[in-house]
Chain A
C-alpha cells in the first residue's frame, strides 16, 4: 500500500515568510509524528498526534511552530515568520500504535531552506 507522503519535497522561502508543510500518513495509522533533522544531525522530535487526544507539543521549539491534524488523516506543520535556523529537513512519520512507539514509517521529508 501507499507509504507516508509529504509535500512539498523542497521549499525555499525568504526569512520572515510563513510556510506550511503537509503530511499524509499511512491509512489506518492512528499516531503521527513530526521531526526536524538539521544537516548531519539526528532527528529532533517536534510534535505527536494520537487519535483524538490532545497532541504532545512539547518538542516545538518556539511559538512560531504549530501543527494540526484532521482526525486520523492529513497533518500540516506551519512555521510562521521563518528564520534561517529553521532550515532543515522536516520528517513526518506514522505508526499503527501510539502509546508505545512501535515501528514508525517515515515520509521522504520536506527540505526547507530559508534565505
Chain B
C-alpha cells in the first residue's frame, strides 16, 4: 500500500524563493528517499535519509526526518525554474524489498 503522503499537493512560487513540502508515512522504515520527476529527465533520486538521521543536506536541498511523528520535509532553497517538477517521497519499510511512493507534490517555479 502507498505510504508516503506529500503535503501540499501543488505549490507555485517565484524564482529565488524557498519551497517546502512534507511527507508522512505510517510504519517503521529503514530510510526515506525523495525523488524528482519532470518531463525532461524522468524520475531521479535526490536524497536519502536513514531512520537514525534527523537532517541531511545536498546542495540546495535540505531534508528532515522525524520518526516520532513519522514525517519528513524537503526544503529547496533559492528555487530555480529548472526545479519545476513533481517531488515524491518514498519509504523503505522494514521487511519489504520495495519503495512505497506517495502521490507527489507538483512544484512550479515562476521565472
Contact = CB atoms under 8 A, between A and B. Distances in A.
B100 interface: yes
Contacts of A105: 45
Contacts, number: 59
Name the residue among A35, A100, A101, A109 with the largest chain B CB count within 10 angstroms: A101
B52 interface: no
Interface residues of B, number: 23
A100 to B, nearest CB: 6
A42 B4 contact: yes
Contacts of B4: 42
Contact of B98 (A56, A102, A108): A56
A56 B97 contact: yes
A59 B100 CA distance: 11
Nearest to A108: B42
B103 A42 contact: yes
Nearest to A107: B42
Interface residues of A, number: 26
A19 B43 CA distance: 23
B53 to A, nearest CB: 14
A90 interface: no
B75 interface: no
B33 to A, nearest CB: 7
B58 to A, nearest CB: 12
A40 to B, nearest CB: 8
19 contacts: A31-B97, A33-B98, A35-B101, A42-B101, A42-B102, A43-B99, A44-B2, A45-B98, A45-B100, A45-B101, A48-B98, A99-B97, A100-B30, A100-B31, A100-B92, A101-B30, A103-B48, A104-B45, A108-B42
Interface of B: 2, 4, 30-31, 33, 35, 42-45, 48, 88, 90, 92, 96-104
